[in-house]
Amino acid sequence: MEIINNRYTIQGIDALDLAGEFGTPLYVYDAAKITGRIEELKSAFPDMNMKIKFACKALSNLSVLKLMRKQGAELDAVSIQEVLIGLKAGYKPSEILFTPNCVSFSEIKEAVNLGVVINIDNISILEHFGNEFRDSVPVCIRLNPHIMAGGNKKISTGHVDSKFGISILQMRHLLRVIHNYKVKVIGLHMHTGSDILDAEVFLRGADILFEAAYDFPDLQFLDFGSGFKVAYQEGDVTTDIHELGAKLGKAFKAFCKNYGRKLEVWFEPGKFLVSEAGVLLVRTNVIKTTPATVFAGVDSGMNHLIRPMMYEAYHEIVNISNPNGVKRIYTVVGYICETDTFGLDRRMSEIREGDILAIKNAGAYGFSMASNYNSRFRPAEVMLYEGKAFLIRKRETLEDILNNQVEIEF
């Protein structure tokens, strides 16, 4: 968002007008920011055969996926439902990487039948897979490099105590299973977590992946996951994508030379592509003063954006109804019957009942983690594309909530 003539705008559209037209709470996505992020990532790896696999768990709306496909980004899916949505969005099965965790084998078999690329992160599942398909279905293997990344265990997935991936310490066991079942491995995958600042973390993981790769003669790609850090507040340090591209690119080319042929390099960004493109517009219901705090209570809550409560994530909040108001201290909270705090002790322009607040960086893991807790409706979603606003998901109704319930007559 930017301020033009004292009004907050997105792609030149007044954010207050969006709230007025579509109601609140409302998720708004700036398509230009998404496409800009894709181009930025492409430009950081100019001399490499790179594929971007959007981690669609971050934001799985069909229109968003179609935008991603239009820009040349493929998909990383973690459930069979995400696979089916990806296919509905027009992706070819070969463009979808299926990376499930702790799912039933029947779900993996369904993915095989759909023709997507299978990523396996468990030796017992690999044995089952080998017994069922042997070398008829090539696979990718997800390794756990035992690297603690991002500084927050809740969003780190490559540490020693993680449920994700096959431990690098199990390589001998892994290779025996692959050999005995004649499984054809065409890719190796690693994802260490989110909010990674230092290119050296990727390089440490890359060294582990490179070393492991020499035991797999049929590789077509190496997948380095993602975890690039985005800015959540002014002054935040972010991942230098171009520095990463230069350093990792150099190391990858050297590896390919030693391996004997060029491989593809894959990344699967989620938050990096959509987080800053999204904003959640909410309306202030009440201003409540207590002996300790002034609360601004809004018409949304952890049912729409759970990240602040689940991860202690920081999201900047601005009062777009009163951009030049006197600065005061507020704690912005939701309307859920839980402690659902969006922002604690925030210095903001004076908030009045009825004012529209914008919660920034809400594009990733916002709507996709939303629920009907307290029997509240999930919000509408709007995409701004080439200066026009398009409704891409209608606001829910009571009928939607009750649709699958079966009433018993007593």
Q: Which value, to the nearest 10 degrees, does the dihedral of the CA atoms of residues 41, 44, 46, 50 take?
A: -50
What's phi and psi for 131, nearest 5 deg? Answer: -65, -35
pLDDT of residue 191: 79
Q: Is 197 exposed, middle or buried (0-12, 13-18, 19+ CB in 10 A)?
A: middle
Cβ pair 40, 62 in contact under 8 A: no
Return the structure tokens found at 313: 């994530």
Cβ neighbors of 208 (< 8 A, separation 6 or more) are 143, 145, 147, 168, 190
Please give the pLDDT value at position 94: 97
Rounded distance between C-alpha atoms, residue 3 and residue 276, angstroms: 16
Helices (H), 119-183: 123-133, 171-181
Q: What is the pLDDT of residue 156?
A: 43
Q: How far is it, in rounded angstroms, from Cα 151 to Cα 402?
A: 41
- CATH 2.40.37.10 range(s) for the chain read 2-23+278-362+364-402
Q: What tokens appear for 246 in the block?
A: 């230069």
User: Is the bond preceding residue 100 a cis peptide, omega within 30 degrees?
Assistant: no
SS3 content of the chain, % helix, strand, coil (to 5): 35, 25, 40
For the CA atoms of 266, 238, 384, 44, the dihedral, rounded to the nearest 10 degrees, stands at: -40
For residue 233, the model assigns a pLDDT of: 76
With H, G, I as helix, E, B as strand and everything else as coil, classify residue 110: helix
Question: Please, what CATH class does the domain formed by 2-23+278-362+364-402 belong to?
Answer: mainly beta
Q: Active-site residues: which are they?
A: 337
The answer to whether the CB of 320 falls within 8 A of the CB of 357 is: yes
What's the length of the chain? Answer: 410
Alpha-carbon span 51 to 40, nearest angstrom: 13
- From the centroid of its chain, how far is CA 38? 14
CATH class of 31-272: alpha beta
Name, in order, each residue with C-beta under 8 angstroms of 195's C-beta and a sequence gap of 6 or more.
150, 151, 152, 155, 227, 229
Long-range contacts of 35-43 (CB under 8 A, 24+ apart): 35/67, 35/71, 37/269, 37/272, 37/273, 37/274, 37/276, 37/277, 38/68, 38/71, 38/72, 38/73, 38/273, 39/71, 40/241, 41/241, 41/267, 41/269, 41/272, 41/273, 42/72, 43/242
Bridge partners of 53?
74
* Residue (of 126, 58, 52, 127) closest to 96 by Cα position: 52
Q: What was the pLDDT predicted at 195?
A: 59
Which tokens go with 211?
A: 């070393």
For the chain of 410 residues, list the mean pLDDT of each consecutive stretch of 10: 92 97 98 97 91 97 98 98 98 97 94 98 95 94 78 48 86 96 96 65 86 96 88 77 90 95 95 96 98 97 97 95 97 96 97 98 97 98 97 98 95
Q: What are phi and psi of 186, to 5 degrees?
A: -110, -5
Please give the pLDDT value at position 154: 47
pLDDT of residue 200: 76
Q: Which residue intervals of the chain bear CATH 3.20.20.10?
A: 31-272
